Amino acid sequence: MDYSPRYGQFRAMLRTIRLEARLSQTELASKLGKQQLFVSRSELGERRIDFLETLDFCMACGMTVAQFIDRLEQVAPDREEKRPKRRSPRRMDRMGRLTGS
């Protein structure tokens, strides 16, 4: 999947803390009650990780979320310039139904 550079840094940091905790993907998956494929796909970006999963990742690696966020802020690139939002040619009517093409 094609995610932002910031999300790439996030995934890289998850992998880094796992390696620093000296955990294999299989060992981390076991601590999380998941399969190894879950950890692999999360680190590769084949699946997105939500906030609660991030909490679990951090706890299993012996790190607080505050520590994780501090480290992530140090390595994350500056915020990207926002692109103008594309406007859809379709509109919603008062009933919430899409109109137009």
In this structure, the number of other CB atoms found within 10 A of the CB of residue 63 comes to 16
* Residue 66 in tokens: 């505050």
Can you give the pLDDT at residue 88? 67
Question: What are the average pLDDT values for consecutive 10-residue runs of the chain, which has 101 residues?
Answer: 80 94 96 95 92 96 95 73 68 75 55
Q: In angstroms, rounded to a whole number, what is the distance separating the alpha carbons of residues 88 and 9? A: 31
In this structure, the number of other CB atoms found within 10 A of the CB of residue 56 comes to 17
Can you give the pLDDT at residue 36? 95
